Amino acid sequence: MTILLTAANGRTGRAVLRALANRGADVKAFLRDEAQWPALNGLGATSFAVGDMEDTSTINAAMASCETVIHIGPPMHPNEVEITSRFIDAALAHGVSRFVYYSVMHPLRRAVRHHRLKLDAEETLIESGLPYTIVQPMRYMQHLGLIWNKVLETGVHNMPFNIDVKFNVADLRDLAEATAIVATERGHLYITYELAGPEALSQRDMAAVISRVLGREIRAEALSLEQMEKNARAAGAGDDRVTQMLTMNSHYDQFGFRGNPNVLRWLLGRNPNTFENYVKRISRCD
Ligand SMILES: NC(=O)c1ccc[n+]([C@@H]2O[C@H](COP(=O)([O-])OP(=O)(O)OC[C@H]3O[C@@H](n4cnc5c(N)ncnc54)[C@H](OP(=O)(O)O)[C@@H]3O)[C@@H](O)[C@H]2O)c1
């Protein structure tokens, strides 16, 4: 049984690929560039298709001989619905028997565009008639990894949120394992799973955990949205991405992002990873 994995070269795609390879799955990686293949082959992909999510013909060609699709869209993409629809249409045309859609926790938060677009994409998938599984993952613990060197350097954990607003952050490794489980085991069709981490943590709580693990004080500080915008532009983000980030961060800042870990625990058959374990892992660099 071959699984077509989209966005395979991305942060989420690579984590899901590793989890699928651990389960011995036969994975065809959907890539933008053939030069990405050796690294993904090293992570366990068994074949690849070069394609563009905006190009129906490449999607159709990639779908050949695949029984399952795991579709992960590019983050905050304005064409999330159109892209997902292309994969759904190709899956229908090729008689795919399982379509796993990697959505987001609380897609019904319509004020945030990529949540709303994922909700619309979920609706399209459900109405397509394809046997589907939708996973709705919470914000990743791995966002800390992006600022980790800065945290070590400055002693400040600063993210663009009020330091007391709570998130049930989840370990991407757990989310990837759960995605691999629903894509390879029986009994997960026609269902939507909310996947959240085990603890509700504020930036202040996270800084306390990091302090405990490192044995030195790390202070939580809210990064201003102005500074976040400057950082994002310096990293190459365009106007659309910056606008979406500002909207998302203001929304999370106002309402928090809470969830319940029961479903993730049940799927994994163990407790989801704690933030403390994640921090221990990245402080050991493994
Ligand atoms: N971050 C979170 O906390 C979180 C939580 C829940 C859900 N999610 C969801 O997870 C998904 C993946 O996020 P991510 O951070 O893993 O993204 P990412 O690292 O930016 O990866 C996106 C991948 O998509 C590929 N891609 C982009 N446009 C493409 C196109 N037109 N055709 C073919 N491939 C294309 C990119 O290819 P290249 O490698 O060639 O650039 C890249 O490999 C998003 O839908 C996001 O909403 C994220």
Q: How many domains does the chain have?
A: 1
Would 31 be classed as within a structural domain? yes
Q: Is 236 helix (H, G, I), strand (E, B) or coil?
A: coil
Q: Edge-to-edge, what's the strand order for the sheet holding 98-102?
A: 47-50, 26-31, 2-5, 68-72, 98-102, 132-137, 191-195
CA–CA separation, 24 and 106 (whole Å): 31
Express each pLDDT in 223-261 by its tens digit.
999 999 999 999 999 999 999 999 999 999 999 999 999
Residue 284 banded pLDDT, cuts 50, 70, 90:
confident
Would 250 be classed as within a structural domain? no
Q: Which of 12, 34, 168 to mutate to test the pocket of ligand 1 (most atoms within 8 A of CB)?
A: 12
| 67-79 CB burial, b ≥16 within 10 A, e <16 | ebbbbbbeebbee
Q: Containing domain of residue 111, as a range?
A: 2-138+171-197+260-273
| Contact indicator for 91, 51 with CB cutoff of 8 Å | no
Express each pLDDT in 95-144 by its tens digit.
999 999 999 999 999 999 999 999 999 999 999 999 999 999 999 999 99
CA–CA separation, 199 and 205 (whole Å): 10
Would 184 be classed as within a structural domain? yes
Please, what is the angle between helix 203-214 and helix 275-283, to 10°?
50
Q: Rounded to 5 degrees, what angle do the CA atoms 55, 60, 64 make?
A: 150
CATH number at residue 36: 3.40.50.720
Q: Which of 9, 192, 249, 264 to mutate to test the pocket of ligand 1 (most atoms within 8 A of CB)?
A: 9
Express each pLDDT in 182-232 by its tens digit.
999 999 999 999 999 999 999 999 999 999 999 999 999 999 999 999 999
CA terminus-to-terminus distance, the chain: 31
The atom number, within ligand 1, closest to the CA of 75 reads 44
Q: What is the DSSP string of 132-164?
A: EEEEEEPPBTTHHHHHHHHHHHHSEEEESS-TT
Residue 24 pLDDT more than 60?
Answer: yes
CA–CA separation, 96 and 63 (whole Å): 8
Residue 285 banded pLDDT, cuts 50, 70, 90:
low
For residue 236 and ligand 1, the question of a CB distance below 6 A is answered with no
Would 9 be classed as within a structural domain? yes
* Angstrom distances, CA of residue 133 to CA of 122, 144, 146, 158, 218: 10, 29, 30, 35, 40
CA–CA separation, 89 and 24 (whole Å): 28
Give the phi and the psi of residue 91 in degrees, each rounded to 5: -65, -40
Distance 142 CA to ligand 1 centre (A): 14
Would 248 be classed as within a structural domain? no
Would 213 be classed as within a structural domain? no
CA–CA separation, 141 and 138 (whole Å): 9
| Token pair recorded at residue 164 | 């007391």
Residue type, 97: S
Q: Which of 14, 28, 32 to mutate to test the pocket of ligand 1 (most atoms within 8 A of CB)?
A: 32
Would 229 be classed as within a structural domain? no
Would 128 be classed as within a structural domain? yes
For residue 86 and ligand 1, the question of a CB distance below 6 A is answered with no
Which residue is closest in CA terms to ligand 1's atom 21?
Answer: 10
